[in-house]
């Protein structure tokens, strides 16, 4: 009968038993240490949880970071806004009144000219010849008239002496009148020749700005040319034709008849930069039925030449002024199904929803008719996460950053 090797080796059996006994002992020790640590930390964790837990019945909510603005009291101007087009008071296409060669151009494109300034010159020699011919004809007929008048004086003397027949005296008197008529015709022909000679020098009919040249020097031009030589637009003063909706016509006409002076301001296409200030010059007599608007004409002195004909502008017309009203930033006004409302910050840094009634606006400021008083703080940024009673953390007041100082609240123990 065969026996196991371990049974024949007692030393080997004793060594294996000792190895497994040591490992089991270490395992028991580790389990005991872990259990002690767990039971030691459990009361402290429970105490900390009780300390950090909110009071019973209260729900802890994180503060919302917001920016606020303070309402103020002031005057609010009421403006009417419309779209307008700059229109020159007068636009003149300069034509030549006589035919001939353009021998001189005395202007530059875009130049400002005054009425009477020389613009161009047409070859005057043909008209100088006509002037001299008319002048000579006049001198000849004036001499014939003078001689006939002397003869008539002699005939009258002889008629008194009964030395000549009365018929001869009457004939001489008729001849004098004939020469007088001829001299008048000669004088008119001379004046016409002088006028044609004057037309050879083309001058500015109005004061204004010259556009681009339409004819170059050296060309033969005619009085019948359709395009003309140049265009002058009057830019000082200048007009703007703009429209307003028919809904504002009653209040507009009330102020128009009462004041007879309504100030207007012209702004650029984006409506940000002011270009000029002026006044309403005229109001149209009918409303355009296709657009439901009324046309108005305003006058601007345009001293700095910022307005050009056919330029598109935005018009703001001051109609009235609201005195001592509550002013609030438009960024703080919210819109809902029930109308306009704002979030007002209370003393404990919580917000409340306040319905309001807003009036006229001027840029980013609105007049508040009902619902707000001067000195109240409105949420202007971060309102999308708010509701009634929400707690807020203010980082800006009236666009100025707020510096927070970490201080323990009353009754709170400082952390170690």
pLDDT value of position 204: 95
Tell me what the mean pLDDT of segment 353-374 comes to. Answer: 88
Tell me what the mean pLDDT of segment 402-409 comes to. Answer: 53
Give the model's confidence band at 407: pLDDT under 50 very low, under 70 low, under 90 confident, else very high: very low
pLDDT value of position 6: 47
pLDDT value of position 406: 44
Tell me what the mean pLDDT of segment 150-162 comes to. Answer: 88
The fold adopted by the segment(s) 64-77+324-401 is 2.40.420
Residue 86 clears pLDDT 90, i.e. is over it: yes
Q: Kindly state the tokens that stand for 134.
A: 């008319």
Question: DSSP of 2-53, one letter per residue?
Answer: ---TTTT-HHHHHHHHHHHHHHHHHHHHHHHHHHHHHHHHHHHHHHHHHHHS
pLDDT value of position 7: 47
Give the model's confidence band at 24: pLDDT under 50 very low, under 70 low, under 90 confident, else very high: low
Residue 45 clears pLDDT 50, i.e. is over it: no
Contact 232, 94 (CB under 8 A): yes
C-alpha dihedral (200, 202, 203, 209), degrees to nearest 10: -170
112-113 sheet: strands from edge to edge:
91-94, 230-233, 208-210, 112-113
- In a 3-state reduction of DSSP, which class is residue 413? coil
pLDDT in tens, 306-349: 998 899 999 998 888 888 899 999 888 998 888 899 999 998 98
Tell me what the mean pLDDT of segment 8-24 comes to. Answer: 52
Q: What burial class does residue 40 get, using C-beta atoms within 10 Å of its C-beta: 0-12 exposed, 13-18 middle, 19+ buried? A: exposed
Tell me what the mean pLDDT of segment 74-97 comes to. Answer: 91
pLDDT value of position 121: 96
Give the model's confidence band at 39: pLDDT under 50 very low, under 70 low, under 90 confident, else very high: low
Q: What percent of the chain has pLDDT over 70?
A: 82
pTM: 0.60
Residue 205 clears pLDDT 60, i.e. is over it: yes
**Adjacent-strand bridge partners of 102:** 122
Tell me what the mean pLDDT of segment 236-253 comes to. Answer: 91
Q: Kindly state the tokens that stand for 154.
A: 């002699």
Give the model's confidence band at 22: pLDDT under 50 very low, under 70 low, under 90 confident, else very high: low
Contact 88, 208 (CB under 8 A): yes
How many residues are given for the chain?
416
Give the model's confidence band at 19: pLDDT under 50 very low, under 70 low, under 90 confident, else very high: low
Tell me what the mean pLDDT of segment 118-136 comes to. Answer: 95
Q: Which of 173-177, 315-319, 402-406 has the lowest mean pLDDT?
A: 402-406
Residue 48 clears pLDDT 70, i.e. is over it: no
Tell me what the mean pLDDT of segment 372-384 comes to. Answer: 90
Higher-pLDDT residue of 406, 89: 89
Tell me what the mean pLDDT of segment 104-115 comes to. Answer: 93
For every residue of 254-296, which 3-state class applies, written as one string?
HHHHHHCCCEEEEECCCCCCEEEEEEEEEEEEEEECCCCEEEE
The overall average pLDDT reported for the chain is: 84
Residue 111 clears pLDDT 50, i.e. is over it: yes
CATH number of 124-199: 1.10.287
Residue 363 clears pLDDT 80, i.e. is over it: no
Tell me what the mean pLDDT of segment 279-289 comes to. Answer: 92
pLDDT in tens, 216-227: 999 999 999 998
Residue 18 clears pLDDT 80, i.e. is over it: no
């Amino acid at each position: 009968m065969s026996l196991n090797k371990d049974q024949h080796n007692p030393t080997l059996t004793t060594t294996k038993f000792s190895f497994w006994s040591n490992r089991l002992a270490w395992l028991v020790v580790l389990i005991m240490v872990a259990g002690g640590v767990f039971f030691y930390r459990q009361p402290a964790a429970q105490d900390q949880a009780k300390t950090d837990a909110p009071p019973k019945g209260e729900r802890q909510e994180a503060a919302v970071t917001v920016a606020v603005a303070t309402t103020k009291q002031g005057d609010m101007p009421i403006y009417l806004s419309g779209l307008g087009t700059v229109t020159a008071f007068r636009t003149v296409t300069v034509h030549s009144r006589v035919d001939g060669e353009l021998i001189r151009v005395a202007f530059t494109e875009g130049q400002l000219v005054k009425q009477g300034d020389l613009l161009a010159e047409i070859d005057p020699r043909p008209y100088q010849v006509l002037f001299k011919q008319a002048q000579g004809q006049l001198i000849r007929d004036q001499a014939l008239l003078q001689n006939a008048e002397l003869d008539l004086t002699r005939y009258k003397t002889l008629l008194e002496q009964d030395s000549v027949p009365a018929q001869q005296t009457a004939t001489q008197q008729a001849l004098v009148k004939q020469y007088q008529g001829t001299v008048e015709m000669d004088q008119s022909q001379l004046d016409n020749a002088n006028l044609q000679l004057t037309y050879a020098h083309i001058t500015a009919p109005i004061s204004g700005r010259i556009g681009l040249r339409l004819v170059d020097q050296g060309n033969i031009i005619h009085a019948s040319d359709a395009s003309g030589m140049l265009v002058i637009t009057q830019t000082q003063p200048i007009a703007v034709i703009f429209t307003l909706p028919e809904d504002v016509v009653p209040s507009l006409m009330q102020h128009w008849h009462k004041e007879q002076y309504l100030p207007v301001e012209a702004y650029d296409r984006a409506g940000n930069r002011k270009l000029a200030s002026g006044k309403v010059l005229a109001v149209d007599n009918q409303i355009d039925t296709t657009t439901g608007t009324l046309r108005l004409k305003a006058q601007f002195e345009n001293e700095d030449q910022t307005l050009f004909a056919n330029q598109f502008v935005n018009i703001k017309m001051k109609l009235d002024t609201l005195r001592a009203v509550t002013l609030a930033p438009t960024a703080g006004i919210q819109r809902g199904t029930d109308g306009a409302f704002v979030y007002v910050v209370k003393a404990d840094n919580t917000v409340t929803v306040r319905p309001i009634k807003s009036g006229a606006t001027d840029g980013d400021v609105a007049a508040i008719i009902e619902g707000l008083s001067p000195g109240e703080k409105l949420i202007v940024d971060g309102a999308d996460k708010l509701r009634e009673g929400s707690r807020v953390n203010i980082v800006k007041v009236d666009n100025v950053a707020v510096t927070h100082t970490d201080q323990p609240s009353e009754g709170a123990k400082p952390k170690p």
